[in-house]
């Protein structure tokens, strides 16, 4: 009985952790709070830091290094801007695809920002 409760606890914990990563296509529709205004003259839709905060921090963390296998602090040293853009759009290797959630301008801005992380 004790092992069944432990197994159930582990499954529930894993489910909660995994549900925090990514999101559904309905997130933008259900979000009634407007995104914060950009402070650098770039529109919010193309502001890479805002895009990162809204779409990436649940998995990668606010400091870009929450996941050891997907540490983004030096991602630009490992991948080109185009490779980063493809990864954001198509996902893979545990990452969800964002091509239906972000438009090409947003993916381009985010990938350029991340490519500068050397």
Q: What is the pLDDT of residues 10-59, one digit of tens each?
A: 565 565 545 455 544 444 434 444 444 444 444 455 899 999 999 999 99
Tens-place pLDDT, residues 9-18: 656 556 554 5
Transcribe 3-48 into DSSP letters: HHHHHHHHHHHHHHHHHTSS--TTHHHH--SPPPPPSSSS-GGG-H
Rounded to the nearest integer, the mean pLDDT of the chain is: 79
Mean pLDDT on 87-97: 95
Give me the half-sphere count of Cα atoms (radius 13 Å) on the Cβ side of residue 46. 9
The dotted CATH code for 48-115 is 1.10.760.10
Helix and strand counts by DSSP (H, E) for the chain = 7, 0
């Amino acid at each position: 009985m004790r092992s069944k409760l432990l197994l159930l606890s582990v499954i529930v914990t894993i489910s909660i952790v995994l549900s925090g990563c990514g999101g559904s296509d309905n997130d933008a529709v259900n979000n009634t709070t407007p995104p914060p205004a950009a402070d650098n003259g770039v529109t919010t839709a193309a502001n890479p830091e805002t895009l990162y905060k809204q779409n990436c921090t649940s998995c990668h963390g606010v400091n870009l290094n929450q996941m050891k296998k997907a540490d983004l602090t030096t991602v630009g040293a490992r991948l080109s801007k185009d490779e980063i853009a493809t990864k954001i759009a198509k996902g893979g290797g545990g990452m969800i695809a964002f091509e239906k959630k972000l438009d090409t301008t947003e993916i381009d801005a985010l990938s350029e920002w991340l490519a500068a992380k050397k």
